[in-house]
Amino acid sequence: MRFIGRANELDYLESSYADKRAQLVIMYGRRRVGKTETLAHFAAGKPHLFFSAQSATKDEQLAAFSKQMFAAGAPAARYIDRYPDWQTALSDLVTLPRNSSNDNGRRLVIFDEFPYLVKSDPSLPSVLQNLWDRTLQHEDIMIILCGSAMSFIEKEILSEKSPLYGRATGILKMQPMPYWDATAFLPDYTDEDKTLAYAILGGIPHYLLQFDPDDDLQTNIENRILRKGTALYSEVEFLMHQEFRETATYNSIIQAVALGATQLNDIAQKTLLSPQKASTYIANLIEVGLLEREFPANAKTVEFSKGMRGLYHISDNFFRFWFAFVFPNRSNLEFGDIGGVYRYDIEPQLHTFAASAFEHMCADWLRRCNAAGTLPFHANIIGRWWNSKDEIDVVAGNRDSTRLLLGECKFRNQPIDMRVLQELRRKGSQLRGEQRWYYLFSLNGFTESLRNLAEHDDSIRLIDMKTLFGAR
């Protein structure tokens, strides 16, 4: 299997590794996002100890860790077969052989699924903190603590009350891959199908790997999502059971959001929960990276206005797809009516379904251009704007709100015409910004009159699929 993307994460890890000071890096992110694979890729070619914790008792974990330490060169003689506790085990990290090819003789130690270790021995963070303060912070060592239990890491490791608070030299929260890396899993797809696949699977490598790059999109949807017994068919239920106890309630909340409930009261009404209860469940879904709350950019200052009520969305593309098309069709799918569900439910709605993922892709494209310095100005904020009547797919503004970029994204069969530009100008007149640019993103190109206009007017930029997937 080819390793794809993750350039920023690897850059970050390499620069920590090259740093002269001791490093304690906390890495976390939702399940399946690619933490282990990225760490393995980073560690390859460097002497290292990679300990993948299991859900087990403290004694079992210590036994497994001791075995790896002794095999890696820690002196076993002092202990009969294993370390008696984490204090002695971690004290011995400094006895591991150094990396002789590296200037600073760095030792690299990775604890994958660290929360499992703390669960079986809650004193571990304070043991590590003590050792760090006394000895480890003066050693040539890089320790990475990795975990997928997001709430655990955020509450127990990174919060002020945690003994490890303030000791971490770096925190890396792994996000799903951006579309340009995610679609590299399906290199021979057309740009349109890449977009559809990204709208369905998102940037989670484990999901992207389920599709066969040699099969077309329809075959992949039918055989790898809609077919009972496949990993993706049962993934949502599997993950929900792993993360939550009251899965039925969580399911009903996500389904309510999938069906268009975007405000707390709507969600509470649809799920028959009190708003207080609903908001607790929603907070947990946000914590595990399944829901998000989006705020509109502010019309006056082009900042996100937290004061306004945000809208809830399903942040994970695959969960959106599953709740939109698999969950409501479960009884048909259980009877093997895959072709029917595809033809009558999915195919006619797929482009509409993909429209919001397409908007996110366009915003990410702008963010990448912004980082590369290829936008007409440096944007301080890039997001969506809406009020009670109008909505703009993507807006970007500079710090003092003098420059404004307004964008419209159309994932549909007709080319974008002049009316779309006129409508964008009208909606944009409600936002501040002396100098304005109009960015039109289109699946199927632009009418000739619009192309002629854009040729002579630098404030109008036409972005087609080739640009979105190619040049910045």
Ligand X SMILES: Nc1ncnc2c1ncn2[C@@H]1O[C@H](COP(=O)(O)OP(=O)(O)OP(=O)(O)O)[C@@H](O)[C@H]1O
Listed residue (178, 213, 177) closest to 38, CA to CA: 177
> Among residues 22 and 33, whose Cβ is nearest to ligand X?
33
**Which of 6, 106, 224, 427 touches ligand X by CB under 6 A?**
6
In terms of Cβ atoms closer than 10 Å to its own Cβ (0-12, 13-18, 19+), residue 103 is exposed
- 251 DSSP 8-state letter: H
Q: Considering the complex, what minimum distance in angstroms separates the CB of residue 251 from ligand X?
A: 20
Query: HSE of 164 in the Cβ direction (CA atoms, 13 Å)?
Result: 25
What distance in Å separates the CA atoms of residue 267 and residue 430, rounded to the nearest whole number? 30
> Among residues 40 and 76, whose Cβ is nearest to ligand X?
40
Residue 4 touching ligand X (CB under 6 A): yes
Kindly indicate which of the ranges 24-32, 117-125, 268-276, 376-384 contains the residues binding ligand X, using the contact rule CB under 6 A: 24-32
Residue 10 touching ligand X (CB under 6 A): no
Could you tell me where the DSSP H helices lie in 159-230? Answer: 179-182, 191-201, 205-208, 217-224
Q: Considering the complex, what minimum distance in angstroms separates the CB of residue 207 from ligand X?
A: 8
Give Cα 245 distance to the centre of its chain.
23
Residue 3 touching ligand X (CB under 6 A): yes
Q: Considering the complex, what minimum distance in angstroms separates the CB of residue 223 from ligand X?
A: 19
> Among residues 31 and 58, whose Cβ is nearest to ligand X?
31
Binding mask 108-147 for ligand X (x = CB under 6 A): ----------------------------------------
> Among residues 129 and 210, whose Cβ is nearest to ligand X?
210
Q: Considering the complex, what minimum distance in angstroms separates the CB of residue 286 from ligand X?
A: 18
Q: Considering the complex, what minimum distance in angstroms separates the CB of residue 1 from ligand X?
A: 6
Edge to edge, the sheet with strand 435-442 lists 381-386, 391-397, 403-410, 435-442, 460-463
Q: Considering the complex, what minimum distance in angstroms separates the CB of residue 5 from ligand X?
A: 5
Judge whether 278 and 264 are in contact, CB under 8 Å: yes
Print burial letters for 381-418: b (CB count within 10 Å at least 16), e (below 16): bbbbbbeeeeebbbbbbbeebebbbbbbbbbeeebbbe
Tokens 């048909």 sit at which residue? 332
Residue 397 touching ligand X (CB under 6 A): no
State which of positions 426-445 bind ligand X (CB under 6 A).
none
Q: Considering the complex, what minimum distance in angstroms separates the CB of residue 170 from ligand X?
A: 18
Q: Which two tokens mark 201?
A: 């699977």
> Among residues 209 and 355, whose Cβ is nearest to ligand X?
209
**Which of 23, 61, 129, 148 touches ligand X by CB under 6 A?**
148
What distance in Å separates the CA atoms of residue 106 and residue 348, rounded to the nearest whole number? 56
Could you tell me where the DSSP H helices lie in 19-173? Answer: 35-43, 58-71, 86-91, 114-120, 124-134, 150-152
**Which of 10, 12, 19, 37 touches ligand X by CB under 6 A?**
37
Q: Considering the complex, what minimum distance in angstroms separates the CB of residue 4 from ligand X?
A: 4
Q: Considering the complex, what minimum distance in angstroms separates the CB of residue 52 from ligand X?
A: 9
> Among residues 132 and 322, whose Cβ is nearest to ligand X?
322
Residue 32 touching ligand X (CB under 6 A): yes
Query: HSE of 38 in the Cβ direction (CA atoms, 13 Å)?
Result: 29
> Among residues 113 and 393, whose Cβ is nearest to ligand X?
113
What distance in Å separates the CA atoms of residue 170 and residue 192, rounded to the nearest whole number? 38
> Among residues 5 and 415, whose Cβ is nearest to ligand X?
5
State which of positions 163-222 bind ligand X (CB under 6 A).
205-206, 209
> Among residues 188 and 334, whose Cβ is nearest to ligand X?
188
Residue 34 touching ligand X (CB under 6 A): yes
Q: Considering the complex, what minimum distance in angstroms separates the CB of residue 264 from ligand X?
A: 29
> Among residues 202 and 407, whose Cβ is nearest to ligand X?
202
Residue 36 touching ligand X (CB under 6 A): yes
Print burial letters for 133-147: b (CB count within 10 Å at least 16), e (below 16): eeebeebbbbbbbbb
SS3 21: coil
Output the residue with the shortest Cβ distance to ligand X.
34
> Among residues 109 and 362, whose Cβ is nearest to ligand X?
109
Residue 223 touching ligand X (CB under 6 A): no
Angle of CA points 154, 129, 144, to nearest 5°: 60
Question: What's the residue count for the chain?
Answer: 472
> Among residues 113 and 408, whose Cβ is nearest to ligand X?
113
Judge whether 34 and 205 are in contact, CB under 8 Å: yes
Binding site for ligand X (CB under 6 A): 1, 3-6, 29, 31-37, 148, 205-206, 209
